[in-house]
Amino acid sequence: MDAAAPGTPDDGQSGGGPAPAPGAEAPCATPAAAAAPVPPRLWLFGVPVDAVTPATALARALALVEAPPTGRAALVFTPNPEAVMEARRDRAAQAVLAAADLALPDGVGIVWAAAHAGSPLPARVPGVDFMNQLLEVAAVRGWPVYLLGAEQGVAERAAVAAARLYPGLRVAGTAHGYFPPSADAGVVEAVRASGALLLFAGMGGARQHGFLHRHRAEFGGVRLAMAVGGSLDVLAGVVRRAPPLVRRLGLEWLWRLVRDPRRWRRQLALPRFALAVLAAGHSAAGHRLPGGEGS
């Protein structure tokens, strides 16, 4: 299947609701999960991106949580240009990303690429905002959550902030994300024993994706696991999110680079991604990007 072609792989906040988390957009009203269709899926160089809005993405996530148990957690990923470029180099990374049950168009680069390929997306759905939408729903419905990731103490601070923002939220457990692969089993057991229904893991791109994919059948009652990158740092107040105007202009990447110049090596992926999209868009019939599902 072409990368920008629709496909299905195998594998408003109301007036009385809680305030959004620091730097987060206000979540929209919770839709009915039972009415959530499977969204159209685009493929960019073998990496899935779902054509969703914040509302339809939330409806899809709730449908995944409330579906009959499958014995493994549904995965929510937020692919960005860095992840796409890594997937082009590493087929194993591509396979992990392709297993997402919900792939959010988090970054402006992904939205631009889809539009250039002739398959525009209906909206951008930032992962940090989506995480907060899920936390709000979890508080209302009594779903316990587990926060995993960031440096020592950050997940705990994020839990305190989340409980303040979303009264009634049950945080079943927290843990930092700086553990060696040899400690995977212990972390997985802690998540399983916590009784959490939702798991938010922020351990950096490929590592968090691989961890969630590798252990998705071992988390016990976890029904949905989301890779959240640096969102726990934002929730905890450790990292400040770009101002709304900067986000609307699509310049969050520049904001992060200015605040942390050490990111420059990582952000070399952005121009490489843009060049790859431009080259593929001009050479592929129908402006569809190559490297779709099964390629």
How confident is the chain (295 residues) per 10-residue block, as mean pLDDT?
Answer: 38 33 38 67 92 97 96 96 92 96 93 90 95 98 98 98 98 97 97 98 92 98 96 92 67 64 66 87 38 42
- pLDDT for 221 equals 96
CA distance 161 to 182: 30
- CATH, domain range 45-229+244-253: 3.40.50
- Residue among 233, 223, 171, 181 nearest 202 (CA): 233
CA distance 228 to 216: 16
How do 224-227 and 74-77 pair as beta strands? parallel
- pLDDT for 261 equals 66
- Residue among 4, 14, 63 nearest 223 (CA): 63
The answer to whether 203 and 211 have CB atoms below 8 angstroms apart is yes
Radius of gyration of the chain (CA): 18
- pLDDT for 205 equals 80
Number of Cβ within a 10 Å radius of residue 142: 10
* The pair of three-digit structure tokens given for residue 288, joined into one six-digit string: 């569809």
